[in-house]
Structure 1
Amino acid sequence: MAGMGTLLVSLSGLTDGDDADRARAVAFAVELDRRGVPLTHLVQPRAAGAPPLRRADDLVRWIAGRVGAGDDLLLHGYDHTADPVGAWQNGSVPRIGRRTEFGALPRHEALLRLTAARRVLTATGLSTDGFAAPGWTASAGTVAALPEQGFTLCADETAIRSTLPGGPVLRARVLTFRSSEPWLRAEPAAGGRRALPAQALRSVRRAGVVRIGLRAKDLRKPHRVGAALEAIDAARSAGAVGSVHRGLFPVVAAAA
């Protein structure tokens, strides 16, 4: 299991982004390369209402090249449909949010979407046994369904857990630029330029693990990119070493 001083950086939202978003992602990845920090790519196989990813897509080729050079990949839902509706939903399940595709699904509904997502991802030539919940929210049914599709790791808002029976759980809250973050609301004008590095330092000193989760739209704002890079530098100066999610648990890495 991960020891003291682990830094995890992830990026989502490129599937439904544009060429400018992808150019910014390339530039951000270069900055991480300079710091010796790998990037975990959170990939949704298709955007809602759009064709699925294909092997020939520039984005797929770029991610494949990055993963081959030391980055990692986690499945990030299927198409991010807001609160998918199935026969199980009779109005008793409240709406959680726009990006909570797997936030309230029972096991059988989660299994159907995971099966579809894995089928599309496999067709691109990409593969993974790790899952990152959209909106960082995974229902109990989703967690139960993951091993049935061969997923051995699940990352949510507060933890990264092995889905194997009796597997380890690493408690660490992901730091994001979502508007609900209390530390970001306390520093709106600076956009987290001071607060995020401070949060990263507290995380590495308290739990030994720093998780920074960025979205493609965060990279559109230079002050957020600056805050993220300063937080990464702060964590590294405190002794944190860059890693990827599937490198956390030896038993998971061996099964990948």
Structure 2
Amino acid sequence: MSTLLVSLSGLTDADDADRARAVAFAAELDGLGVPLTHLLQPRRAGGDPLRHDDDLVRWIAGRVNGGDDLLLHGYDHTADPIGIWQNGTVPRIGRRTEFGALPRHEAMLRLTAARRVLAATGLSTDGFAPPRWIASAGTCEALAAHGFRLCADEASLRVPGTADALRARVLTFRSTEPWLRGWAEPGRGERPAGDRRRCRALLQQATRTARRGGIVRIALRAKDLRREERVAGALAAIDAARAAGAAPSVHRGLFTVTAAAA
């Protein structure tokens, strides 16, 4: 049986307009009976941590209480995490790939800091989604040591420290995604046409995956909600996946149920 997962990221540093769009999108999903998984970055780009009385924290807490899910989404997405290791043989990581090349020790430090901030907000989770969906081997080891039960990377949902994994490639509107190659607009100035191509690609991939009985993972960013074409495209893909037999779920709930069934 196919499963549908929808996630949203990028709200920590978003403005009021972006957050209003997120509220409206979540309401659309409520009408479809589709829960939303929130990918939360606990520290803002400027360094300030989220707090328990922030509007965003209160909104997410309410959504989770209503059936949504929450995954830790890195720490602060800095391009240059602490440590002198980057001067060595480990590749330099790029922006928003905070956990993409970290060794175990550095990943442990950042996960400790992230969990401390998250606990102070009153939120909690044992699921992790690395920025840009890339987690180094050291990060996976650190996740296992911290007791995380899910790591959602670009191609799978896995239990850190074990061989348990479910194949599930994430579908986004980023033109660099492998499954989108060939669909991106050929040049600048063609964004509307490019968005239409991406929406068609998303619709086709979601439908195809659902018909094969796979896991349809649609991942949106707050900035995607600024474009009506992308919102409409995401909702169309969600409808198509459901029509093809995909049952809505959340990331952690899916793995728990599937592992139990196995």
- Length-normalised TM-score, structure 1: 0.92
Distance 1:37 1:128 in 2: 20
Q: Is the 8 A contact 1:9 1:213 kept in 2?
A: yes
Corresponding position of 1:217: 223
Return the alpha-carbon distance in structure 1 between the equivalents of residues 257 and 103 of structure 2: 27
Give the CA deviation at 1:190. Answer: 4.8
> In 1, Cα distance between the equivalents of 2:236 and 2:77?
30
Which residue type is aligned with residue 212 of structure 2?
R
> Are 1:199 and 2:205 counterparts?
yes
Give the whole-Å Cα distance in 2 for the aligned partners of 1:186 and 1:22: 29
Figure out how many residues of one structure are paired with residues of the other and give that number: 250
Matches of 2:89 and 2:161 in 1, distance apart? Answer: 31
Seen in structure 2, the aligned counterparts of structure 1 residues 74 and 252 have a Cα distance that, compared at 3 Å, is farther
- Residue identity opposite 2:89 in structure 1: S
Structure 1 position 195, deviation (Å): 1.7
- Large movers: runs of 4+ above 4 Å: 251-254
TM superposition shift of 1:233:
0.3
Worse overlay, 71-80 or 178-187: 178-187
1:128 matches 2:147: no
Distance 2:97 2:209 in 1: 25
Cα displacement string for residues 82-138 of structure 1 (whole angstroms, at most 9, x for unaligned residues): 142412222533334311000000001000000000000000000000000111000
1:83–1:103 Cα change, 3 Å: farther
Segments of 5+ residues of structure 1 without an aligned counterpart are none
- For the aligned residues, what is the CA RMSD? 1.8
- Preserved CA contact (<8 Å) 1:83 1:100: no
| 2:183 counterpart residue number | 186
Q: Which amino acid is 2:42 matched to? A: P
> Which of 50, 60, 63 is matched with 1:66 structurally?
63
Q: Does 1:172 pair with 2:168?
A: yes
Percent of residue pairs identical: 73
Aligned partner of 1:216: which letter? A
- 1:74·1:129 contact (CA, 8 Å) conserved in 2? yes
Runs of 5+ consecutive residues of structure 2 not aligned to the other structure: 186-192
Task: Please report the TM-score for the alignment, with normalisation by the length of structure 2.
Answer: 0.90
- Alpha-carbon distance in structure 2 between the residues aligned to 1:225 and 1:91: 43
Displacement after TM superposition at 1:196 (Å)? 1.0
Shift in alpha-carbon separation, 1:200–1:222, aligned structure 2, 3 A: same
Paired letter, 2:229: H
CA distance in 2, matches of 1:251, 1:211: 17
In structure 2, distance between residues paired with 1:187 and 1:25: 25
2:147 is equivalent to residue 146 of structure 1: no
Q: How has the CA–CA distance of structure 1 residues 175 and 231 changed in structure 2, closer, same or farther, with 3 Å as cutoff?
A: same
Supply the AA of the counterpart residue of 1:226: A
Q: Counterpart of 2:238? A: 232
